[in-house]
Amino acid sequence: MASVRPAGSGAWADVRAVMGERGDPSRCFCQYFRLRGKAWSEASPDQHREALRHQVCDGERPPGVVAYDGNVPVGWCAVGPRTSYPRVVASPYWRTDHPDAWVITCFVVPVGQRRKGIAGELSAGALELARSYGARTVEACAVDTAAAGRVPSADLYRGPLSVYLAAGFTEVSRTSPQWVLVSRAVG
């Protein structure tokens, strides 16, 4: 069982270790939902990394949580107020009755750590972080792997629907058979 802690100022090295040196996390650094248009497409992976470093080290609140197996970082989950994510605010797929909700946008669990329940522990940690900052509702856009069929692991960054349902989220709507808006009260 992993322990989960907020990704505050002392956690940057651990967040960076989870993001790794290859694959989508090492290029995005959880900035996709924080940027839109040219701000996203013209930014380099180094700029994305620096933006997340600033959010972790200098932000007014942690931008997510990190899971640990002992002292080894084994997972990351991005969570924050909806207003922190311009792409979410602008998306027709994230229309809800809770404009002040917090949202979970991303999970990163490195190869070798997957299928151990870490995403479930990260979601619990994300809910607790949101609650500790006064959130009343947390939402996410989950991937329904049963409806989608075989899904590449890179496409699961939003989190499988099964993880959210196990954490007490309920389905709000579907934008496609595989994309499911889920919500949970926490306050």
3-state secondary structure 152-178: CHHHHCCCEHHHHHHCCCEEEEECCCC
Q: What would the mean pLDDT of 4-24 be, rounded to a whole number?
A: 92
Q: Which pLDDT belongs to residue 22?
A: 85
Q: What is the pLDDT of residues 109-167, one digit of tens each?
A: 887 777 788 999 999 999 999 999 999 999 999 988 887 677 777 778 888 999 999 99
Is 97 or 59 the better-scoring residue by pLDDT? Answer: 59
CATH of the domain at 140: 3.40.630.30
Indicate whether 187 pLDDT > 80: no
First-to-last CA distance in the chain? 26
Domain that holds residue 121: 3-185
Would you place residue 58 in the very low, low, confident or very high pLDDT band (cuts 50, 70, 90)? Answer: very high
Query: Total structural domains in the chain?
Result: 1
Q: What share of the chain in percent tops pLDDT 90? A: 66
Indicate whether 97 pLDDT > 90: no
Q: Are 129 and 4 in contact (CB under 8 A)?
A: no
Q: Which pLDDT belongs to residue 77?
A: 97
Q: Are 143 and 159 in contact (CB under 8 A)?
A: yes
Interatomic CA distance for residues 139 and 81, integer angstroms:
10
Average pLDDT of the chain?
A: 90
- The DSSP 8-state label assigned to residue 23 in this structure reads S
Q: Are 75 and 3 in contact (CB under 8 A)?
A: no
Q: Which pLDDT belongs to residue 17?
A: 93
Is 154 or 186 the better-scoring residue by pLDDT? Answer: 186
In the numeric block, the tokens 């960054």 are attached to 157
Taking the model in full, what pTM does it have? 0.93
Determine which helix (DSSP H) or strand (DSSP E) holds 56, and give its type and residue range. helix 45-58
